């Protein structure tokens, strides 16, 4: 984990170490290094607000004997705030498999831009990336932004996002081809119907992501969930959550009958939370369970 506490660069968080080694803790040259079987953490912590001190500490890291690649070679999971991606750094993460991009807390920016991606490529080697999480990104500047990530990430197979951020880009054929080719797992963190509010848009979603095997989503309409089941030919597992104000058993009874006719394994629970019921649905298709 890298923490930078100033107005323009809040923090970089990196965690999870693949290779285990002996516990050790070293405080040297202005930063703390912890390496054990659970994590590798490098912290840059400033208790003073003087910019010069922060720059000196950053310079110490850059001048350390290890190369910038070696320092973070065991870091595989990385979270970056968008305000980090406005200027180049000497930090470099060569083995990231899971990347999470989040808005700036201070600036409130939630739009992922071409500038962000160009800087990202100087900080992170995207070649080994397997999972991309942009669930807190509410907008993408244009199709070239996501397309550039996909082109740089041939191993990418899993993505977490809100439907609003991606569905608006579905008019780009090249982007859709990359999404279809690469993505096998999708986690949607907002209600599907807000942005795919008719059967044609849902069918378009299924056509673009026809190779996905696992899907998590929020969805209120059992009919729309059946559409996903019928139009995603390689789907092996789906988890869905929906909210209902009253009598969810009655609403989902026809849906359960339809699932029985499809000969799939499923589990449906209705949990009362405050003033509504949360319906939790898990469905397994075929022999492959992810």
Q: What is the 3-state secondary structure (H, E, C) of 139-203?
A: EECCHHHHHHHHHHCCCCCEEEECHHHHHCCCCCHHHHHHHHHHCCEEEEEEEHHHCCCCHHHHH
Q: Where are the domains of the chain?
A: 186-290
Per-residue pLDDT at 8 exceeds 50: no
Q: Contact, 89 vs 121, CB < 8 A? A: no
Q: Which tens digit of pLDDT belongs to each residue from 242-286?
A: 988 877 888 899 999 999 999 899 999 999 888 889 999 999 997
Q: Which tens digit of pLDDT belongs to each residue from 108-145?
A: 668 899 999 999 999 999 999 999 999 999 889 999 99
Environment class of 279 (CB within 10 Å of its CB; exposed 0-12, middle 13-18, buried 19+): buried
Domain 186-290 has CATH 3.30.110: yes
Burial call 118-156: b when 16+ CB within 10 Å, e when fewer: ebbeebbebebbebbbbbbbeebeebbbbbbbbebbeeb
Q: Is the pTM of this model over 0.85?
A: no
Could you give the CA distance from residue 121 to residue 115 in angstroms, rounded to a whole number?
A: 10
**Residue-level pLDDT at 26:** 36
Residues 6+ apart with CB under 8 A from 70: none
Could you give the CA distance from residue 36 to residue 144 in angstroms, rounded to a whole number?
A: 39
């Amino acid at each position: 984990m890298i923490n930078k506490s100033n107005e323009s660069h809040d923090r970089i968080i990196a965690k999870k170490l693949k290779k285990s080694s002996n516990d050790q803790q070293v405080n040297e040259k202005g930063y703390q290094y912890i390496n054990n079987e659970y994590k590798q953490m490098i912290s840059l912590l400033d208790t003073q607000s003087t910019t010069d001190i922060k720059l000196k500490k950053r310079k110490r890291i850059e001048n350390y004997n290890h190369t910038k690649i070696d320092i973070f070679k065991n870091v595989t999971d990385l979270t970056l705030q968008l305000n980090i991606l406005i200027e180049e750094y000497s930090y470099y993460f060569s083995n990231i498999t899971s990347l999470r991009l989040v808005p700036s807390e201070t600036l409130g920016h939630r739009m992922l831009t071409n500038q962000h991606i160009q800087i990202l490529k100087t900080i992170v080697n995207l070649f080994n990336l397997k999972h991309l999480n942009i669930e807190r990104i509410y907008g993408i500047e244009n199709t070239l932004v996501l397309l550039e990530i996909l082109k740089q990430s041939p191993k990418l197979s899993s993505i977490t996002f809100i439907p609003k951020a991606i569905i608006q880009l579905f008019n780009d054929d090249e982007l859709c081809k990359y999404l279809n080719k690469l993505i096998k797992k999708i986690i949607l963190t907002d209600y599907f119907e807000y942005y795919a509010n008719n059967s044609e848009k849902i069918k378009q979603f299924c056509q673009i992501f026809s190779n996905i095997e696992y899907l998590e989503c929020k969805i209120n309409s059992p009919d729309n969930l059946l559409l996903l089941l019928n139009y995603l030919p390689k789907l092996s597992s789906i988890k869905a959550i929906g909210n209902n104000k009253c009598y969810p058993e009655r609403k989902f009874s026809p849906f359960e009958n339809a699932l029985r006719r499809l000969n799939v394994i499923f589990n449906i629970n209705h949990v009362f939370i405050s003033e509504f019921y949360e319906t939790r649905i898990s469905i397994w298709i075929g022999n492959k369970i992810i």
